[in-house]
Structure 1
């Protein structure tokens, strides 16, 4: 085996393990939320923050971390992220209150932001454009394997050992990824080495983004509007600063002059805004309304990511041969149909129909995500892979945060700050149905964003 082939395999192996870690943690914790809420006396809104705080923190740091990896080394940032994630996960397992758990989820999100983008970036750095779609498809398959294993393993651990063991499992996987990376990956990638890191822009971005997303998640309160307006103003100032600084943390011109990059990231944002909270809602629905155990609910939820895992590599190969916008748009159309069907959920909805619709959602996800990722990474020069991957991951996590924000907003309108008990099941079901119709409408808009990106094949990377 030549050195380049060995490097590609080792980089892919490390990226696969790290890409498994985050989704596994998120999906396993989601299925345990009702038990966490009971043990720590948390209402529906507070439970939402267990997921949202992690996402908000990860999203806030993704762009600065992506730029730092281009300058200081992608493997170095990757390793530090693994270390921070492992430590915060271990401490989170000992949380004695909802506030403490949410705090350590924030720290865990910071570590995850250093893992999210760099794994994909390393793979994109070592694979040529003709093989990149397949490689990214394999990486994304591991994401869905993590999503598949999370609900089942999370349900089993929660039933027999308690939800705290979910975080210990995360530590065990993280330590394995850390060891494999140190042992197998010797090369470093830093195409922007020597350029100055934009500290002012990074601080402005993190503060403004956090303010805007926190404000969105706490609407319709007056405090929520204040934080949202302040955050949006800060992001506007950030954009002006980035256009004038010599080495910006985010290449604004990538959006201004690169149509494929712009619309592919917009499609990512819309897709995750419309889909991320599905697992959260269905986990609550299956355990509260259908009276299933965490283990049984996890088994049902596995049907969606299992189909994604089976088809993602195939979808990636399709995007190497055919235009990613066509394949991805077919996936978005499938999502619209599935989300509309979930808009009619009731107490009497047949469980088999739920499994079939979750599998159909997985089919739509698989057709969208791999081709869309391929389109983003193929639309820029290698020098900007870290920024491109960080931006894509940011759009994903912003979308995930928006998705949870929509759920929290609808819950606040229909339920308020109450625990989900039998007398409030009607309000919960109404909230769930309204949310799914909102998600279906967002996915419908995403079809047009996906189609608008233009052709990717025969396009040379565009640095600006």
Structure 2
């Protein structure tokens, strides 16, 4: 009975945390123009409001996951949520671009500590037979946060100002902290007493920042140089981890654990192929079809809402059917949806457009929670924090790769100019090229997803 209660509390806390950070990230993106106007920020500086958060999150995900395995997942989760909540509160009083960016870095670190431990705590607290169902509910909360962010963020920014977006984080964060303190007495530290690899963590952080920051600068020459330097550091990190007795990222998980390696690779490819869809569709609906931001947001909400509806079902199903089969089916649906987007034009009926978004939502919903279930169930308990951080890192790197490809394609087809009626045709051609590339990526991803092998549960 106690175990079941702990599992339910862990699920509720994970759901709150799962909603909080994606909501903040997606809502802030809607508010960027307003923030830029208030502080007279140029486009490069403004982009750092979003990029700084992503970079900090990616750099700290795996190290904080490893620390959580050693000192306690609940402890790290509480510290991360406290950091995120305090930074959100301080954001209300921002007086300069530098202060906003610095606080976004701190928010990103807190977010990494939350995401790097929430899934690990949930996996630790929930019985294996119910794991997929619980992870599906958790994934649903993430999608609801992503779906609610643009819509509620736009309303809050319009009526209460952009600072109100960060104010919402405070009561949600305090509520979650209170629940942990009062209702969750257990702690999980399956690698307690082991050494923490500081040198490996630094190599990992700098390499990831180099790769991701370099990708954000493409196709400029500096972007290639920084990305290559980051890749060299990443190679050095892999070499170091192979020879380190207590590594921050156990490389044998990738070398010896086929399910873990290919499930993470499938996640990386899936996010790389799908994340920029919303970016392209937002521009298409507003510039090509003439919709207002509010109506464009209502159309685009179809995909995450479908994902949120499907994820619990898919997660529960993955408790009974091999997760790789369900995830592969979802990625195949994503490939089909992306292929259909190659043929949209400036006169495509909105009903057909909505149907394609629903197909993508169905595909992503079928892929995400079973794939996450496969990742978390394929490792020993002492690696739950690392596994949680690794899958989160795959998501962030995939998102950056997706936007990097989108940026390069647009630069090739229309250049760094404002989208006007004179270059609508070139924009649509570039969008078609991007969706064709994403379709090919997804097909490759289906292959890796299918060959991951069967999952052996130690139950």
The TM tier, using the shorter chain, reads over 0.9
1:237 match? 236
1:97-116 superposed matches below 5 A: 101-116=100-115
1:282 match? 281
Shift of 1:327: 0.7
For the aligned residues, what is the CA RMSD?
2.4
Residues 388-431 of structure 1: CA deviation (Å, up to 9, x unaligned): 11111111111112112222223333344444455555554444
Q: What TM-score results when the alignment is normalised by the length of structure 1?
A: 0.92
Change (3 A) 1:44 1:451: farther
Pairs aligned (count): 459
Deviates more, 1:240-249 or 1:432-441: 432-441
> 2:53 & 2:179 partners in 1: Cα distance?
25
1:382 match? 381
Q: Runs of 5+ in structure 2 lacking a partner?
A: none
2:365 match? 366
Residues 184-226 of structure 1: CA deviation (Å, up to 9, x unaligned): 2222111111111111111111011111221122123221122
Deviates more, 1:45-54 or 1:367-376: 45-54
CA contact (8 A) 1:45 1:411 kept: no
Residues 268-325 of structure 1: CA deviation (Å, up to 9, x unaligned): 1001111122223323333333333333222222211111111111101211111111
Change (3 A) 1:407 1:221: same
Q: Aligned to 1:248, what secondary structure does the other structure show? A: coil
Shift of 1:85: 1.7
Change (3 A) 1:102 1:443: farther
Shift of 1:156: 2.0
Q: Runs of 5+ in structure 1 lacking a partner?
A: none
Shift of 1:170: 2.9
Residues 324-354 of structure 1: CA deviation (Å, up to 9, x unaligned): 1111111011111111222334333333332
Does residue 194 (structure 1) correspond to residue 193 (structure 2)? The answer is yes
> 2:435 & 2:35 partners in 1: Cα distance?
24
Change (3 A) 1:220 1:91: same
1:352-431 superposed matches below 5 A: 352-420=351-419, 425-431=424-430
Shift of 1:39: 5.6
CA contact (8 A) 1:42 1:419 kept: no
Residues 8-50 of structure 1: CA deviation (Å, up to 9, x unaligned): 1111110111011122122323344555566666677766554
Shift of 1:69: 0.4
1:89 match? 88
Deviates more, 1:255-264 or 1:143-152: 143-152
CA contact (8 A) 2:216 2:223 kept: yes
1:169 match? 168
> 1:354 & 1:171 partners in 2: Cα distance?
37
Deviates more, 1:216-225 or 1:319-328: 216-225
2:350 match? 351
> 1:439 & 1:377 partners in 2: Cα distance?
27
> 1:157 & 1:115 partners in 2: Cα distance?
25
1:120-269 superposed matches below 5 A: 120-269=119-268
2:449 match? 450
CA contact (8 A) 2:126 2:134 kept: yes
> 1:355 & 1:90 partners in 2: Cα distance?
37
Change (3 A) 1:291 1:179: farther
Change (3 A) 1:255 1:71: same
> 2:309 & 2:371 partners in 1: Cα distance?
17
CA contact (8 A) 1:48 1:404 kept: no
CA contact (8 A) 1:55 1:400 kept: no
CA contact (8 A) 2:30 2:150 kept: yes
Deviates more, 1:387-396 or 1:79-88: 79-88
1:341 match? 340
> 1:441 & 1:143 partners in 2: Cα distance?
27
CA contact (8 A) 1:201 1:238 kept: yes
> 2:100 & 2:339 partners in 1: Cα distance?
34
Q: Aligned to 2:318, what secondary structure does the other structure show? A: helix
Change (3 A) 1:320 1:4: same
CA contact (8 A) 1:337 1:440 kept: yes
Change (3 A) 1:321 1:183: same
Change (3 A) 1:100 1:284: farther
> 2:353 & 2:215 partners in 1: Cα distance?
30
Q: What TM-score results when the alignment is normalised by the length of structure 2?
A: 0.92
> 1:46 & 1:278 partners in 2: Cα distance?
24
Residues 96-121 of structure 1: CA deviation (Å, up to 9, x unaligned): 67665444333322211111121110
Change (3 A) 1:48 1:104: same
